Each structure stands twice: as structure tokens, then as C-alpha cells.
Amino acid sequence: MFSGIVEEMGAVSILNRGLAGTRFTIIASTIMSDLTIGASVSVNGTCLTVVARTDHDFSVDVSPETLQVTTLGSVTAGSPVNLERAMRLNERIGGHMVSGHVDGVGAIGSRYQDGNALILEVEAPKDILRYCVAKGSITVDGISLTLNDVTERAFVVSIIPHTAKVTTLGLKQVGDKVNLESDLIGKYVERLLQERGILPPKPAPVIDNDYLKRRGLI
């Protein structure tokens, strides 16, 4: 479990692709102090397991499924990534409860400055927007953000200068893809209401060519 407060921006130094999956080696500094083999780490909002480490970098294995359904499939050697160690329960939660299980991928629809803030409009799938409410929480590339506004096809977030400087969001341009995770509490509430018959069940996915391509099956 994570809080969505990025600890540092690392960089992928080595990327090894194989038939069984891909291994990233990531250069980092702040999070290395107590990072152990077997520990969970959030990489651009995706929960991964540390499989090797040195004093200056660590390695994670990424499955074909994760490469297909997150933006990690487009990562290359040299790419910057947002990093956060797993949360301790005795610490302040500066963001919100983040599982590190990416719900879908969105794209930057527009970006502009409003005073010292960077305003991003993020186009998102309907399955994610259904859990979005103004002033609620959303995780974008592992960063806990407050929703300024929500429309039928997108949501709007305001990025303060500090966040733009220490995370990858300051580098994002129109058209760039981002990992999205909906508010965990909203999903649990919906499930409970469905079990009690207060809400209709979530519709089953339509298995068409687009669905199969997104899942990496064709």
C-alpha cells in the first residue's frame, strides 16, 4: 500500500526484455536507504517487487500483462520514473490510500499555466471516471492528486510547482500517456452497494478486438 506521495524521481538505466517478461534496473538515491529484496515499490504508480539491488540502483521484473495494461510498456533506458516505497502504518498519510494496481491508462488532453500552477486535463476511460468526483482523489503515475473538475471524458488537476519539479508530471506534454488508479474507497463502496442490490451490477466487458488488443491477446 502507498500514499501517492512520490519520494523521488529515478531513471531506468538498464532494460532487459525477454520472452517471459522484462527487467528494469532503476537508479535511485532517497529510497535506497532501507529498500530490501522482496520489498514493494511504486514505479509510476505500479506496484512492483524488488528482485535485486546495489548501493545505487535496484531491479524489478515486469510481467507481459503489466507491460500491456500500463505505460511501463513504453518505458526505455533513460526514462524518468516516479518512485515511492511501501507506506508504513505509523506515518502520516499525506495523500490517500493507493494500492499500486493500475486501473487504466489516460492521456494528457491539454496543459496550461494558471499563475504558478500547471493545469492538466487528463482524458480517461469511463471505468475510471465513474469513480471521480470534484475535490476527490485520483492517482496519476503514482502521484496522489485532487480533482478540480470532472467531465464526461476527462478530469482536471492542478499541479503545484514542487510537484512539477520533483515528479514526471512537469515533463508531460499533450498526448503523453499516464497510469491511473481510481480512489480505492469508491470502488469498495460501489461493490457493497451492488451486493445489497442498491446499485445494478457492473456491466461485463465487451470482448471485441479493441478489448483483446488492450489486454495484449492479439
Secondary structure (H, E, C), 62-84: ECHHHHHHCHHHHCCCCCEEEEE
Residue 41 counted as domain residue: yes
Q: Are residues 51 and 127 in the same domain?
A: no
Q: What is the pLDDT of residue 201?
A: 72
pLDDT of residue 93: 80
Q: What is the CATH number of the domain that holds 136?
A: 2.40.30.20
- pLDDT score at 203: 65
Total domain count for the chain? 2
CA–CA separation, 179 vs 56, rounded Å? 26
Whether residues 118 and 189 share a domain: the answer is: yes
> Which strand (E) or helix (H) includes residue 57?
strand 57-62
Q: What are phi and psi of 161, to 5 degrees?
A: -55, -40
Exposed (0-12), middle (13-18) or buried (19+): which is 213, by Cβ within 10 Å? exposed
The pLDDT, as a whole number, for residue 209 is 74
- Walk along the chain (218 residues) in steps of 10 and give the mean pLDDT of each run: 96 89 95 95 97 97 92 96 92 86 96 96 95 95 97 97 96 97 86 77 69 59
Whether residues 80 and 13 fall in one domain: yes
| pLDDT for the residue numbered 211 | 62
Any domain includes 44: yes
Residues 38 and 69 in one domain: yes
Per-residue model confidence (pLDDT) at position 19: 75
Per the structure, the complete domain to which residue 39 belongs is given by: 8-85
178 and 116 housed in the same domain? yes
Residues 81 and 119 in one domain: no
**190 plus 109 within the same structural domain:** yes
Domain assignment present for residue 24? The answer is yes
- Residues sharing a CB contact under 8 Å with residue 87, sequence separation 6 or more, in sequence order: 1, 2, 3, 93
Helix, strand, coil % in the chain, rounded to nearest 5? 20, 40, 40
Per the CB < 8 A criterion, the answer to whether 53 and 59 are in contact is yes
pLDDT on residue 92: 78
pLDDT given for residue 132 in this prediction: 94
Q: Do residue 81 and residue 108 come from a single domain?
A: no
pLDDT of residue 54: 96
Examine residue 202 and state whether it is found in any structural domain, yes or no. Answer: no
